[in-house]
Amino acid sequence: MTAGGAPYDGAVFKPARALLALGVPLLLAGCALLLPSRLEVAPTSRVVDLAVGTSTTFTVTNAGAAGSVLQWSFVADELEAWPSSGSLVAGDSETVLVLAPSTAVGRTLPGRFVAPRQEADVSVAVVRGPTLTCDPDAAFATAAGAARVLVGYRTGVARSAAVRTTSSSDVAGLASAVGGRQVRQGAAGEHDLLEVPMAAAAGLVRALEARPDVAYAEVDRPVARAAIGPDPRLVQQWNLTLFGAPESWAITDGAVAPTGPVVVAVVDDGIAVDHPDLAAVVLPGYDVVHDDTDSRNCTDHGTHVAGIVAAVRGNAEGVAGVASRPSEPWVRLLPVKAWPDSSDPTSTTQIDPIARAIRWAAGLPVAGTPTNAFPADVINLSLGALRTFSSTLAAAITDAKEVGAVVVAAAGNGDTEGVDYPARSGTIAVGSVDANFVRSGFSNYGTGLTLMAPGGSGPDPACGAIISTGVAYADGVATETYTCKAGTSMATPFVAGAVALLIGTDGSLPEGAARHDAVDARLQAAAQARPGANVEEYGAGILCLDALLTTTHVCGTAVAAP
């Protein structure tokens, strides 16, 4: 008899196709979890030098059987991990960022990666190394009467190691023939660096440009920061309160954190990595000038920029960043140092290290450097002062965008028509407005300008500009402080921080090469036109953070529901 009392008719029960379709994947998933996974962590010990950063990395790998799945997590009393747990299929690895507290100097802190029936103990020794040595006369070491020449190769050559090596050797021979040398052969997609007598540079460039395997050749040139007027004061952050940050934070503070950090690379003169308002959000960076991991700066430009992006909010310290959160911040700063260790705030860098810094920030190969474990979602370029095009910088920016980085750059401070390079090379080019929403008198405008953001004069007489994190060096000793600066350098990180919040809260944005243009379109759509303003002077308009991230407010003012 059947359960309903009817006589058994001899039919064989057959599950519905929908049930089979559901059951098979569940069965396979269950089997995957039963297959033997194997937890491997490398290395098992690390050193965190608080002089150059508060974090380090471990690599977690599932070295188990094919088809297995490893569920892992990290536990520790004093160490913090990002991410703190995850899932890995066989053969896959994940880089885990581990942060140590600055109060643990001289101690070794334990941690443990755990998985079902498995565990791996790790340790982090916390030390504080020597102070950074700064010299006002530090600059690029180029032989007297010599010029640096940058050579890029066509895509087919750059992507083929064998052909690229032959081309690079030929170019090195041309440099040698005029009394010069090849200083460095670039990695795949990167430029070569030559040093030749000044008198031979122009002729060599023309000869190189005539070669079918060479995409471009140009003489390296100075690149300056895009800030003016330092004045140490602690004042109200009008650039946040007047431009919609509090209204935006009401949304982003409650947003679900993304699965990994949103990384903003600050390509600049470095960051004071142990500044109390920054230490908790700084990733391990790199110095492309000196080829080491000491990304501290001898002037405070990069530190000031970094604070505008993501200075920690709610920690009873100084200032807050655009992309800050009072707890569990998920926007992280990646310092990429591209300046010599000069304490002169007017010192310049060169095109070569800026291009290498952009590439390294994006996770692209750069000759002689370690791989960046945290490729940038956003690259901030608060620099410029180049009035003519650079093929080397344009190529680096294009490559960074191709792998998904959004590149934001300063329009420049010359009060001239046409923004500076590299901002004009396909980036989101940012000009500056004052607290009255009028273009700052120093800000470039016109050709190449994308939009405007706060970076100029404010209402507080004690500062009169943008207050942010800073650092002062005296007799080789760094003192964390807060400084006032104005410039398109200060407007640019406002936009970079806004982009970071947008990426972290909007899962509809595309990945890869399409992301930069999609973000650019969103920014321009949200920018507010100033009544009666000249479009040439303001681009798409003025960015208010709340207009980008909410539908309820524009620059702190509530708007009617659509």
Q: To 10 degrees, what angle do helices 488-505 and 245-252 make? A: 30
Cα 461 to its chain centre, rounded Å, is 33
pLDDT band at 242 (very low <50, low <70, confident <90, very high): very high
When divided into structural domains, the chain yields a total of 3
Whether the per-residue pLDDT at 475 is higher than 80: the answer is no
Whether the per-residue pLDDT at 462 is higher than 80: the answer is no
- Same domain for 345 and 417? yes
DSSP code, position 510: P
- Same domain for 491 and 414? yes
Which positions ≥6 away from 316 have C-beta within 8 Å? none
Task: Give the model's pLDDT for residue 25.
Answer: 46
- Same domain for 167 and 293? no
For 477-497, give the DSSP string. Answer: EEEEEEEEEBSHHHHHHHHHH
Higher pLDDT, 464 or 562: 464
Cα angle: 470, vertex 233, 435; to 5 degrees: 100
Dump pLDDT digits (tens) for 199-209: 999 999 999 99
- Determine the residue type at 368: G
Q: In the numeric block, which tokens belong to residue 170?
A: 């030929």
- Which is nearest to 394 in space by CA: 149, 147, 150? 150
CA dist 142 → 4, 147, 149, 219 (Å): 94, 7, 11, 13
CATH assignment at residue 541: 3.40.50.200
542 forms bridges with which residues in the sheet? 452, 528
Q: Is 287 a catalytic residue?
A: no
The mean predicted confidence, pLDDT, of the chain is 89
- Determine the residue type at 184: R
Residue count of the chain, please give it. 562
- Same domain for 429 and 523? yes
Q: Which residue is associated with the tokens 């989101």?
A: 428
pLDDT band at 34 (very low <50, low <70, confident <90, very high): low
Higher pLDDT, 453 or 155: 453
- Same domain for 214 and 228? no
Task: Give the model's pLDDT for residue 14.
Answer: 40
- Same domain for 270 and 396? yes
Which positions ≥6 away from 183 have C-beta within 8 Å? 148, 193, 194, 195
Q: To 10 degrees, what angle do helices 301-310 and 488-505 make? A: 40
Q: In the numeric block, which tokens belong to residue 178?
A: 């005029």
Give a yes or no: residue 132 inside a domain.
Answer: no
How many Cβ atoms from other residues are within 10 Å of residue 326's Cβ?
A: 12
Give a yes or no: residue 309 inside a domain.
Answer: yes
- Same domain for 208 and 351? no
Determine which one of 191, 382, 489, 553 is catalytic: 489
Q: Is 489 a catalytic residue?
A: yes
- Same domain for 482 and 453? yes
Give a yes or no: residue 133 inside a domain.
Answer: no
- Same domain for 206 and 110? no
Give a yes or no: residue 503 inside a domain.
Answer: yes
Whether the per-residue pLDDT at 425 is higher than 90: the answer is yes
Give a yes or no: residue 491 inside a domain.
Answer: yes
Span 175-196, mean pLDDT?
95
From 172, 196, 220, give the residue that closes a domain: 220
Determine which one of 268, 277, 434, 546 is catalytic: 268
For 306, list phi and psi in degrees, rounded to 5: -60, -40
CB of 262 closer than 8 Å to CB of 330: yes
Strands (E), 163-304: 181-184, 192-197, 214-219, 222-225, 262-268, 286-287
Give a yes or no: residue 249 inside a domain.
Answer: yes
Which positions ≥6 away from 432 have C-beta within 8 Å? 411, 439, 440, 442, 443, 452, 453, 454, 455, 456, 486, 487, 488, 490, 491
CATH assignment at residue 46: 2.60.40.10
Determine which one of 301, 304, 516, 553 is catalytic: 301
Dump pLDDT digits (tens) for 101-120: 888 999 999 999 999 999 99
Whether the per-residue pLDDT at 226 is higher than 90: the answer is no
CB of 266 closer than 8 Å to CB of 282: no
Q: What percent of the chain clears pLDDT 70, i.e. is strictly above it?
A: 92
386 forms bridges with which residues in the sheet? 421
DSSP code, position 514: G
- Which is nearest to 317 in space by CA: 276, 349, 289? 276
Give a yes or no: residue 9 inside a domain.
Answer: no
DSSP code, position 88: E
Instruction: Select the highest-mean-pLDDT range: 133-142, 308-317, 372-381, 550-559.
Output: 372-381
Question: CA-CA distance, 505 to 487, in Å (whole number)?
Answer: 28
In terms of DSSP H, where are the helices of 92-228?
155-159, 161-177, 198-209
pLDDT band at 20 (very low <50, low <70, confident <90, very high): very low
- Which is nearest to 330 in space by CA: 250, 258, 279? 258
Cα 307 to its chain centre, rounded Å, is 13
**378-381 and 406-410 beta bridge pairing:** parallel
Enclosing domain of residue 234: 224-558
Task: Give the model's pLDDT for residue 268.
Answer: 97
- Same domain for 87 and 162? no
CATH assignment at residue 170: 3.30.70.80
CB of 439 closer than 8 Å to CB of 506: no
Which positions ≥6 away from 294 have C-beta within 8 Å? 51, 52, 132, 287, 337
- Same domain for 263 and 154? no
Query: What's the first-to-final CA gap in the chain, in angstroms?
Result: 64
Task: Give the model's pLDDT for residue 117.
Answer: 94
From 195, 220, 245, give the residue that closes a domain: 220
Question: CA-CA distance, 262 to 312, in Å (whole number)?
Answer: 15
Give a yes or no: residue 25 inside a domain.
Answer: no
Task: Give the model's pLDDT for residue 225.
Answer: 86
Task: Give the model's pLDDT for residue 426.
Answer: 97
- Same domain for 114 and 177? no
